[in-house]
Every structure is written in C-alpha cells, then in structure tokens.
C-alpha cells in the first residue's frame, strides 16, 4: 500500500494547494507571519536538495546532519506557513492527515530502502540523527558543500515556482477583499 501512497503524494499535494487557495481568507497579519515561515520551509528543502545524491550516496551533510528527512520537514514547514498565510485553521487538520497518512508511510518505506542500500552506514546514521524533528546542535559532518547542480537536477526550483504562485494568489486574494 505504501508504494501506492508514495505515487499519490504529489497529486494530493496539488489538491491540498487547491483547497487552500479556495478556502483562503488571508489578512495582512496572516500573510506577514505565514509567508516568511513558508519561505523557511522552502529554504530547508532547497538546502536539502543541494546535498542529496539520491541512491548514490547516503546524505549526512547540510540539513541531513539534523534530520534524516529535511525535504519532508521543509515541506511540512512550507505547508504550515501557507496555512497560517491562508488564515484557515481547519486546513491544519488536512495537513496533519496528509503527514500521517501519506508522508510517514513514505518515510518508512524510503528508510527501509536506505537500510538495504547502505546497510550499517544507514543504521549508524539513523541511530544518531532523528527521523523528522531536528536535533540541535547538529553533529559535525565532514565535507558536503551545497551543490547548485544537485538543486537543479532535483528540480527544486519547481517548489520555488509553486510557492511564488501560491503566495501571489494569497496576496491577490487579500488585496481583493481588503476594505477600501
């Protein structure tokens, strides 16, 4: 079942974004608080994308020093920021349902793959770095500079484009409902 869930996570994310935009009731304060928070999640995703070499090497540098799943954590922070910006709090329940029903099973499946692929190296890594919520201060890891080429290869700029589009619609929706 988790493989089917994994395939549906992106379409479900688009559906959740559509619900967010339809239900959104943004205000100046909600935008001022939510959009910077969402941008932090986006920045975490970008940093993670610039450190991961999918299936080739175990990512343990950059944000992977603090959490085994910085891409998913970044997505969660991004979603939380957009929910705050949209100013519709019941959307948090939808986000929690997606996290619990879609992303946690996907994380477990990916970690089983990583354990099989990288063996004792992943087991040792998993023992010292938490699955999702980061541990501070992060343990040191040698090497592993951010790579713009990896960021581009993983097409993380699509997340940036999506964020900018959602932010623009939320701001436009606020401006159109702003009392003149």
Domains and CATH numbers, the chain: 2-177 (1.20.120)
The yes-or-no verdict on residue 35 having pLDDT over 50 is yes
Kindly state the tokens that stand for 177: 């409902």
The yes-or-no verdict on residue 56 having pLDDT over 90 is no
Q: What is the mean pLDDT of the chain?
A: 87
Residue 20: name the closest of 96, 102, 94 by CA. Answer: 94
Confidence of residue 4 (pLDDT cuts 50, 70, 90): low
Q: Do residues 84 and 31 make contact, with C-beta atoms less than 8 angstroms apart?
A: no
pLDDT given at position 44: 95
pLDDT given at position 167: 92
pLDDT digits (tens, 9 = 90+) for 127-139: 999 999 887 766 6
pLDDT digits (tens, 9 = 90+) for 86-119: 999 999 998 898 888 888 888 999 999 999 999 9
Confidence of residue 71 (pLDDT cuts 50, 70, 90): very high
pLDDT given at position 180: 44
Kindly state the tokens that stand for 114: 């990583």
pLDDT given at position 138: 63
pLDDT digits (tens, 9 = 90+) for 137-160: 666 666 678 878 888 888 888 888
% of the chain with per-residue pLDDT over 90: 48
């Amino acid at each position: 079942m988790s493989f089917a869930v994994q395939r549906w996570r992106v379409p479900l994310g688009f559906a959740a974004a559509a619900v967010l935009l339809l239900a959104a009731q943004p205000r100046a304060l909600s935008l001022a608080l939510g959009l910077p928070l969402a941008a932090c999640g986006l920045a975490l995703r970008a940093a993670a994308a610039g450190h991961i070499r999918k299936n080739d090497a175990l990512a343990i540098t950059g944000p992977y020093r603090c959490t085994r799943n910085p891409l998913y954590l970044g997505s969660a922070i991004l979603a939380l920021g957009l929910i705050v910006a949209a100013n519709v709090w019941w959307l948090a329940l939808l986000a929690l349902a997606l996290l619990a029903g879609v992303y946690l099973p996907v994380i477990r499946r990916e970690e089983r793959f990583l354990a099989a692929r990288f063996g004792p190296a992943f087991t040792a890594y998993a023992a010292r770095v938490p699955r999702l919520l980061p541990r501070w201060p992060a343990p040191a890891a040698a090497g592993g500079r951010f790579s713009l080429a990896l960021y581009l290869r993983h097409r993380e700029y699509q997340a940036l484009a999506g964020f900018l589009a959602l932010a623009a619609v939320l701001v436009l929706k606020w401006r159109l409902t702003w009392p003149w």
